């Protein structure tokens, strides 16, 4: 364990530096994917015929191996973080677009009719009515996308040490130091758990009207009958 945090000098980062790099390469694609998915999902909700082809395209892109993406992009973006983050952004769309579309479509028609009667246009109704109600579904999609992105960043080690914590796995083979691989795996697992917990907290803060699991179970449980005297 003495060399657990002894990071090889060829990585040019400390352990904390690799964590910061990993989070940057993982979370920026999720944010970019969300910014793309929000207007795209609104178009899919408004024009229902658009949803199947959009879903088909995002699924096909998700099926492309990350290494193949790297080969295509490396001539344009080089061996940089951007080459890693572009595929990760594309991969988030197959998760975020269906989550947002399903969440927005779950808004009751009575609510939409009331918003329309109050003079809300399509954009204002989407931002102020549909998205807030769809927050639980959106956060659920973000949780999956974030955890997936944190794990997939490590593949960037294949293109010039752009895998952040994944580079430790590569160096574990080079220097015959298995503790580096254990360090990378455990650190990425902890980051994924913390990010998931943070998003759960965000969901609770943004949806105070939703009952917690315990309160919901108590609300659904039938009251015991009082015995007649």
138, 184, 146, 142: which is closest to 25 by C-alpha?
146
62, 69, 52, 73: which is closest to 148 by C-alpha?
62
- Mean pLDDT computed over 137-144: 92
- Mean pLDDT computed over 85-95: 92
Q: How many CB atoms lie within 10 A of CB 41?
A: 28
Domain boundaries, the chain: 11-208
**Share of residues in the chain with pLDDT > 90 (%):** 34
Joined tokens for residue 33 = 């994917």
Q: Which CATH class is domain 11-208?
A: mainly alpha
- Kindly report, residue by residue over 150-189, the tens digit of the pLDDT: 988 888 877 777 778 888 888 888 888 888 888 889 999 9
């Amino acid at each position: 364990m003495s060399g657990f945090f002894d990071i090889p000098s060829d990585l040019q980062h400390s352990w904390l530096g690799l964590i910061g790099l990993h989070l940057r390469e993982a979370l920026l694609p999720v944010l970019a994917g969300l910014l793309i998915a929000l207007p795209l999902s609104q178009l899919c909700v408004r024009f229902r015929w658009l949803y199947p082809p959009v879903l088909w395209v995002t699924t096909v892109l998700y099926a492309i191996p990350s290494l193949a993406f790297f080969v295509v992009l490396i001539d344009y973006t080089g061996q940089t973080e951007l080459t890693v983050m572009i595929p990760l952004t594309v991969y988030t769309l197959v998760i975020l677009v269906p989550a947002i579309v399903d969440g927005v479509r779950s808004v009751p028609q009575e609510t939409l009719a009331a918003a329309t009667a109050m003079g809300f246009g399509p954009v204002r109704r989407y931002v102020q009515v549909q998205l807030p109600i769809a927050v639980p579904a959106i956060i659920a999609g973000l949780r999956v996308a974030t955890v997936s992105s944190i794990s997939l960043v490590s593949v960037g080690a294949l293109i010039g040490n752009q895998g952040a914590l994944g580079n430790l796995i590569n160096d574990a083979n080079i220097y015959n130091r298995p503790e580096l691989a254990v360090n990378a795996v455990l650190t990425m697992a902890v980051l994924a758990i913390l990010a998931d917990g943070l998003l759960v907290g965000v969901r609770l803060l943004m949806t105070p009207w939703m009952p917690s699991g315990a309160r919901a179970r108590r609300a659904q449980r039938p009251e015991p009958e009082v015995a007649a005297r």
